[in-house]
């Protein structure tokens, strides 16, 4: 692909080789600047379609607007569904992605979607240490289901931080701990870390409730805004993420461990190209 950004900010993307009849996989990270990345993906898909590619698969490790997946306020867009529509409208015939915020999001597409997971990768990393005194923690009721999956793989117990709005405050704060972390090593599990605000607040809360250490693990390292400062200054010992979103060198501080999902995506692409089962990659 050859990409030019004109002075008027318009992109011009030219595919450099003949792709007629080819089985094409377009890999597009969803990182800053986010809107440019989306438009770039859509233009690439359209260029491939009009260049008569045989089959076009969009490989989107972190799906854009993945948390705008429900209409929890009146008169808003379910933007993740809109993104699915746009990607299909631009010509994608198949999508590969990883760890969607909710598994239902797969139903937003009318083309086949292969949803991969970094769960086994993250659990393997966690298991390098002795977990016998560990407890898994959901930093919000919305994440409990995900934590449940980890707890089944690792055979650990879990705790949940319950957040409420108090007084006139518009923002919910951690008020109760459901379960027990006293004297335990806590591991907070989430699907993504954005500004790390919730995460660091949770870590403090857990320490107040007696946790002897706090680690965090998540698939998608958005790490935007004040995230790095917060993590650096927090009581969190280790943050384990993957590289579904590029983590620049400046963010690769000692506390942050970045596991590569390259071989998971590579294997999925190989299987799809050869019509082998992708589901079989995640069987136990």
| Nearby residues of 282 by Cβ (< 8 Å), 6 or more positions away | 116, 117, 120
Name which position in 95, 118, 144, 216 contacts a copy of itself (CB under 8 A): 144
Name which position in 69, 99, 185, 190 contacts a copy of itself (CB under 8 A): 69
Name which position in 60, 80, 92, 202 contacts a copy of itself (CB under 8 A): 80
Cβ atoms of 241 and 260 closer than 8 Å: no
Cβ atoms of 251 and 229 closer than 8 Å: no
d(CA 207, CA 164): 19
Q: Does 107 bind a copy of itself (CB under 8 A)?
A: yes
Give 245's DSSP letter.
S
Q: Does 52 bind a copy of itself (CB under 8 A)?
A: yes
Name which position in 27, 82, 123, 131 contacts a copy of itself (CB under 8 A): 82
d(CA 265, CA 267): 5
Name which position in 25, 27, 29, 51 contacts a copy of itself (CB under 8 A): 51
- Catalytic residue check, 184: no
Name which position in 127, 133, 183, 225 contacts a copy of itself (CB under 8 A): 225
d(CA 25, CA 269): 8
The residue among 6 and 128 lying less far from a copy of itself, judged by its C-beta, is: 6
Q: Does 247 bind a copy of itself (CB under 8 A)?
A: no
Residue 131 Rama label (left phi>0; alpha psi -120 to 50; beta): alpha
d(CA 225, CA 235): 19
Strand partners, 193: 221
- Closest separation between CB of residue 40 and a copy of itself, Å? 8
Considering the candidates 163, 184, 251, 255, report the single residue annotated as catalytic: 163
Give 155's DSSP letter.
T
Q: Does 152 bind a copy of itself (CB under 8 A)?
A: yes
Q: Does 280 bind a copy of itself (CB under 8 A)?
A: yes
Q: Does 7 bind a copy of itself (CB under 8 A)?
A: yes
Residue 185 Rama label (left phi>0; alpha psi -120 to 50; beta): beta
Using CB under 8 A as the binding rule, the residues of this chain from 191 to 220 that contact a copy of itself are 194-195
The residue among 172 and 253 lying less far from a copy of itself, judged by its C-beta, is: 172
- Region near a copy of itself per CB under 8 A, out of 97-105, 124-132, 211-219, 247-255: 97-105
Element (H, E) at 176: strand 173-178
Q: Does 222 bind a copy of itself (CB under 8 A)?
A: yes
Q: Give me the active site residues, please.
A: 163
């Amino acid at each position: 692909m050859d990409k030019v950004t004109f002075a008027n900010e318009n992109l011009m993307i030219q595919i450099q080789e003949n792709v007629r009849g080819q089985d094409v996989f377009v890999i597009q990270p969803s990182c800053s600047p986010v809107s440019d990345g989306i438009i770039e993906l859509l233009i690439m898909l359209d260029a491939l379609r009009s260049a008569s590619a045989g089959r076009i698969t969009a490989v989107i490790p972190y799906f854009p607007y993945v948390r705008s997946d429900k209409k929890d306020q009146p008169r808003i867009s379910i933007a993740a569904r809109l993104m699915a529509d746009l990607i299909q409208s631009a010509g994608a015939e198949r999508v590969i992605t990883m760890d969607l915020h909710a598994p239902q999001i797969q139903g937003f597409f009318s083309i086949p979607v292969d949803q991969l997971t970094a769960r086994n990768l993250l659990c393997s990393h966690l298991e390098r240490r002795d977990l016998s005194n560990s407890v898994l923690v959901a930093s919000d009721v919305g994440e409990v289901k995900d934590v449940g999956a980890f707890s089944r793989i690792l055979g650990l117990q879990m705790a949940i931080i319950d957040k409420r709005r108090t007084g006139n405050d518009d923002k919910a704060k951690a008020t109760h701990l459901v379960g027990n972390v006293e004297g335990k090593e806590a591991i907070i599990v989430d699907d993504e870390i954005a500004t790390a605000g919730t995460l660091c607040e949770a870590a403090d809360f857990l320490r107040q409730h007696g946790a002897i250490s706090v680690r965090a693990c998540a698939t998608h390292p958005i790490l935007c805004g004040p995230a790095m400062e917060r993590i650096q200054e927090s009581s969190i010992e280790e943050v384990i993420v993957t590289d579904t979103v590029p983590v620049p060198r400046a963010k690769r501080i000692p506390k942050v461990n970045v596991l590569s999902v390259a071989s998971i995506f590579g294997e999925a692409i190989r299987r799809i190209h050869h019509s082998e089962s992708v589901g079989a990659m995640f069987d136990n």
